[in-house]
Amino acid sequence: MIERSVFMNMKEINLLYKEIIEKKFEENLRSSKVSQDYLESSTAKYKGRTIYSLYMPKLFTDEDVAYLKEKSETMYRILVKVMQEYFEKEDYRELFGFDGELKELILKRPPYYCLLPICRLDIFLNEEDRSFKYCEFNADGSSSMNEDRELNIALKLTQAYKDLTEEYEFYSFELFDSWVKTFMDIYNTSPLKVDNPHIAITDFLEKGCSIEEFTEFKKAFERAGYSAEICEIRNFTFDGESLISPTGRKVDAIYRRAVTTDIMHNKAQVQPFLNAVKQNKVCLIGDFCTQIIHNKILFYILHMDRTKQFLTAEEAEYIDSHIPKTVKLNDRYINELNVLSTKDRWIIKPEDSYGAKGVYAGIHFTDGQWASLIDKHKNSDYIIQEFIMPYPSYNIDFKKKHPEFKLYSNLTGMYMYGGKLAGFYSRQSKKEIISTEHDENDVASTIIRKKRV
């Protein structure tokens, strides 16, 4: 039995939780049905379906949180430095390769103090020694706050949770009211601010991914005393002075969830929105400059000497330690790195995508299949990146006919609100690529503490 007085690392917590379940396996099986019934009736939905989740939460100690807070806030400061260099230096801008109209939108620097209001930094975390590598950076489209909220409610209905609360305290992250406070703090530094602003939460709503989450954010704005509505980004109108919502309200500030790629692919349909932004008639949080950090080519640029010119020695060392080696998928690097003969070391990705679309890890393909993928995507908009094997930990899926403990790969997302760590989002998969496209399972992210005697 693991000593419960002190946790050495997250692996020990995971094994303790597993032991607690094994002691009362049937009781946990029964309580899992109660927990799942709650989720089925909850707002934890993705494209109209209840999210798929596993039974055990991802548990962090206060020491884990403090460590990841310091590490994530260091990365945030580096990202802001990159954004500032992009604004100030033409030669640096050219490294990113953004086209004319997007570049124009990016260079329209937001009038408020915070260049990167919200982001989620995803990492592969080793739960034994806390070493980690970044997977990707998400900006305005950062999501799944509502999934974590609902999963933490469902967690409290389980037998293992009830047993552990005899000795331990659990704390979840609040991700809605805290974002509203950050949003308004930023908004109030803008010359466009007005008293009692009306806020629009906007996206391409036909995707149907986050309506329930948008509703929770709308409620949070209203709890704080502001009017808010959820708006289809294509249904705004613009009269030259004001951006008007589909309900006829003047919009003062926008919480943008529509990712830049989708906006640019549908720009003909969102001209009222774009014109109001270009003419500074509405406060957009976040503005298009966040695309600088969302684009995956950044991982390549971070390793360049040109970037390290404006970083401190400590920041340059941080990049070397935590950003996977990344290069463009072109003939030069294919040959230099022996990409075809060392496929298990690499993963290829589009420079600008989300949801693991178009992502291929060499370990999943034969030599011939890998060669075909490389030939198909080389010299285009793809990067090749050092493959990081995710850390495995135990979990159990009580929805299976014969549930048993299995090892799942882990991905940890760190939410940053105004540059400060706000919480985590934890995902697990039986596969090495963790996304909705590749067998993603959500789990609650929770802090565990020993009760004081």
- Reported as a pLDDT band with limits 50, 70 and 90, residue 108 is very high
Residue 76 Cα distances to 13, 71, 226, 419, angstroms: 29, 9, 29, 6
Q: Report the alpha-carbon distance of residue 21 to residue 395 in Å, rounded.
A: 10
Tokens linked to 130: 């806390």
Strand residues in 173-322 grouped as ranges (E): 198-203, 227-232, 237-238, 243-244, 250-251, 253-256, 283-285
Rounded CA gap, 135 and 129, in Å? 18
Q: How far is CA 393 from the centre of its chain?
A: 21
Residue 421: count other Cβ atoms within 10 Å of its Cβ. Answer: 20
Longest dimension (CA), the chain: 69
Please state, in angstroms and rounded to a whole number, the distance separating the CA atoms of residues 69 and 64: 8
The amino acid at 383 = I
- The β-bridge partners of 411 are 427
CA 195: distance to chain centroid? 32
Q: What is the pLDDT of residue 107?
A: 97
Q: Residue 256 — very low, low, confident or very high, per pLDDT cuts 50/70/90?
A: very high
For residue 278, is pLDDT > 50?
Answer: yes
Quote the domain boundaries for residue 89.
10-295+391-450
Distance CA 333, CA 336 (A): 5
Are residues 414 and 120 in contact, defined by beta-carbon separation less than 8 angstroms? yes
What CATH code is carried by the domain that includes residue 421?
3.40.50.1760
Torsion angle (degrees, nearest 10) of CA 393, 396, 402, 406: 0
Q: What is the pLDDT of residues 18-75, one digit of tens each?
A: 999 999 999 999 999 999 999 999 999 988 899 999 999 999 999 999 999 999 999 9
State the pLDDT confidence band at 434, using cuts at 50, 70 and 90.
low
What is the model's pLDDT at position 3?
43
Query: Which two tokens mark 180?
Result: 């509203």
Residue at 366 is within a domain: no
DSSP character for 387? -
Please state, in angstroms and rounded to a whole number, the distance separating the CA atoms of residues 149 and 213: 10
Q: What percent of the chain has pLDDT over 70?
A: 95
Residue pair 311/305 in contact (Cβ under 8 Å)? The answer is no
Which pLDDT does position 4 carry in this prediction? Answer: 42
What's the pLDDT tens digit per position in 169-223? 999 999 999 999 999 999 999 999 999 999 999 999 986 578 999 999 999 999 9
pTM of the model: 0.94
The interaxial angle of helices 62-88 and 313-322, nearest 10 deg, is 110
Q: How many domains does the chain have?
A: 1
Which contiguous run of DSSP H or E holds residue 421?
A: strand 420-429
* DSSP single-letter state for residue 53: B
Amino acid identity of 295?
A: N
- Please write the tens of the pLDDT for every residue from 305-360: 999 999 999 999 999 999 999 999 999 999 999 999 999 999 999 887 655 678 89
Comparing C-alpha atoms, which of 57, 115, 61, 60 is closest to residue 86?
115
Q: Of 203, 256, 195, 257, nearest to 227 (Cα)?
A: 195
With helix as H, strand as E and coil as C, how does 113-140 read? CCCCCEEEEEEEECCCCCCEEEEEEECC
Q: How many contiguous H segments (helices) and E segments (strands) does the chain have?
A: 17, 22
Does the residue 249 lie in any domain?
Answer: yes
Q: Is 46 helix (H, G, I), strand (E, B) or coil?
A: strand
- What is the DSSP code string of 282-329? SEEES-GGGHHHHSTHHHHHHTSHHHHTSS-HHHHHHHHHHSPPEEE-
Is residue 98's pLDDT more than 50? yes
